[in-house]
């Protein structure tokens, strides 16, 4: 592998509610810079748990995640939060936009978190909305947008800080077929033209079709495809 941007080392996460569930069991994966990576597997196989460990949203029981050589284990909670803000973008199934902020304000939010001056944040926000085809929707609130448009805003927001990696959990899971195809095409463009690295959990074969790496999970383990 040429240029590994993110990797896991013997990653483990278990939940104990009476019986112990090994949600992520000794996972070692490598993500190459600029690649599209798709995680598939049956319900309950540990896909979302793995993604939240990659995102530093949750801590493993043992093992580590490295992003551009930086170990998560070595970071305090505050440092990990800073790493998330600077280096990662997140896209979720239910968009997770802030309801009382406009499309533009939602996209500007991650930039304000890293203290980008207002004018620069606004310029970049408008540029990103244009990039995802929503130049004319900047003043709309999330509820004044269709599902596909809301997901475009969420993608623009994920791109705002020029993240090393975008993590997405079933990003097309809540969209109709036509809108889904448009969002898939947008992901493909961002990956192929702009070399954006993605790690996505999806059941959508149109997304896994163009994956550079397919990560198949079963009972918390990565199995060969
Ligand atoms: N916070 C939690 N507490 C206890 N058990 C959990 C918790 N989160 C996940 N689990 C368990 O860990 C296992 C993996 O869950 P996970 O959500 O990662 O699966 P998934 O592959 O994303 O499934 P789906 O396709 O349904 O979203 C499941 O058995 C689940 O019940
Ligand atoms: Mg899941």
Question: For atom 28 of ligand 1, which residue has the closest CA?
Answer: 44
Determine the distance separating the centroid of ligand 2 and the alpha carbon of 42, expressed in angstroms: 9
Q: What is the pLDDT of residue 53?
A: 98
For the chain, the farthest-separated pair of C-alpha atoms sits apart, in whole angstroms, at 53
Residue 157: per-residue pLDDT: 97
Q: Report the pLDDT averaged over residues 143-159.
A: 95
Whole-number percent of the chain with pLDDT over 70: 100
CA distance 167 to 123: 24
| Residues facing 216 on adjacent strands | 40, 223
CA distances from 208 to 7, 92, 165, 187, 205 (A): 20, 17, 17, 12, 5
Residues 6+ apart with CB under 8 A from 77: none
Q: Is the CB of 49 under 6 A from ligand 1?
A: yes
Global pTM exceeds 0.75: yes
- pLDDT of the residue at 17: 86
- Rg of the chain over all Cα atoms, to the nearest angstrom: 17
Q: Which of 39, 77, 40 is nearest to 59 (CA)?
A: 77
Q: CATH assignment of 4-223, given 3.40.50.300, 3.50.50.60, 3.30.565.10, 3.40.190.10?
A: 3.40.50.300
CA 215/CA 109 separation, integer angstroms: 31
Indicate if the pLDDT at residue 1 is higher than 70: no
* 204, two tokens: 């959508």
Confirm if 139 and 102 have CB atoms less than 8 A apart: yes
Kindly tell me if the per-residue pLDDT of 51 is higher than 90: yes
**pLDDT tens-digit readout, 99-125:** 999 999 999 999 999 999 999 999 999
Best probe residue, ligand 1, of 44, 51, 57, 58 (max atoms within 8 Å of C-beta): 44
Mean pLDDT of 25-40: 97
Mean pLDDT of the chain: 95
Tell me the CA–centroid distance for residue 133 and ligand 2, in Å. Answer: 28
Q: Which residue has the tokens 């598939």?
A: 40
Distance (angstroms) between ligand 2 centre and the Cα of 40 equals 10
State the ligand closest to the CA atom of 39. 1
What percentage of the chain reaches a pLDDT higher than 90?
91
Looking up tokens 């994966």 gives 29
Ligand 2 geometric centre to CA of 48 (Å): 4
What is the domain partition of the chain in residue ranges? Answer: 4-223
What is the per-residue pLDDT across 194-221, written as a single tens digit (0 to 9) for each?
999 999 999 888 889 999 999 999 999 9
């Amino acid at each position: 592998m040429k240029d590994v941007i993110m990797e896991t080392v013997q990653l483990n996460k278990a939940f104990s509610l009476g019986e112990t569930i090994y949600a992520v069991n000794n996972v070692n994966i490598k993500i190459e810079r600029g690649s599209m990576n798709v995680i598939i597997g049956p319900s309950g196989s540990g896909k979302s748990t793995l993604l939240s460990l990659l995102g530093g949203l949750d801590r493993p029981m043992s093992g580590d995640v490295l992003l551009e050589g930086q170990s998560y284990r070595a970071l305090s909670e505050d440092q990990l939060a800073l790493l998330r803000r600077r280096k990662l973008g997140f896209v979720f199934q239910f968009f997770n936009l802030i309801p009382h902020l406009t499309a533009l304000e939602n996209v500007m939010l991650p930039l304000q978190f890293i203290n980008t001056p207002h004018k620069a944040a606004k310029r970049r926000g408008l540029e990103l909305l244009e990039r995802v085809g929503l130049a004319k929707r900047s003043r709309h609130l999330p509820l004044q947008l269709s599902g596909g448009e809301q997901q475009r805003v969420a993608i623009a927001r994920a791109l705002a800080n020029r993240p090393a990696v975008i993590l997405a959990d079933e990003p097309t899971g809540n969209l109709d077929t036509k809108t889904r195809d448009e969002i898939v095409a947008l992901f493909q463009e961002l990956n192929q033209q702009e070399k954006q690295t993605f790690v996505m959990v999806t059941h959508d074969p149109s997304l896994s079709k163009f994956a550079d790496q397919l990560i198949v999970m079963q009972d918390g383990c990565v199995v060969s495809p």
